[in-house]
Amino acid sequence: MRLLTRKDLVTLTGVLLVYVLGLAGTALAAAPATFDEALALAGQDNKVLIVDFFTDW
């Protein structure tokens, strides 16, 4: 097993960035209004549902 070179890491980072930005655009286009809708849509598409939230208290 060989270690990744700097060029490999830059290429991998670029590919992942393009992939994630592509997913973000499609996810924001048709966002469900409720948690139940999101859960049902994820089940239909056989995808994982990720809930992201934060607070500043």
Indicate if the pLDDT at residue 8 is higher than 70: yes
Q: Which two tokens stand for residue 37?
A: 């809708």
Which residues touch 49 (CB under 8 Å, ≥6 apart)?
38, 39, 42
The answer to whether 41 and 33 have CB atoms below 8 angstroms apart is: no
More confident residue, 21 or 45: 45
Q: pLDDT tens, 24-57?
A: 665 555 677 799 999 998 999 999 998 888 899 8
The pLDDT score that the predictor gives to residue 47 is: 92
Closest CA to 45 of 20, 26, 21: 26
The pLDDT score that the predictor gives to residue 31 is: 73
CA 24/CA 11 separation, integer angstroms: 20
More confident residue, 1 or 8: 8
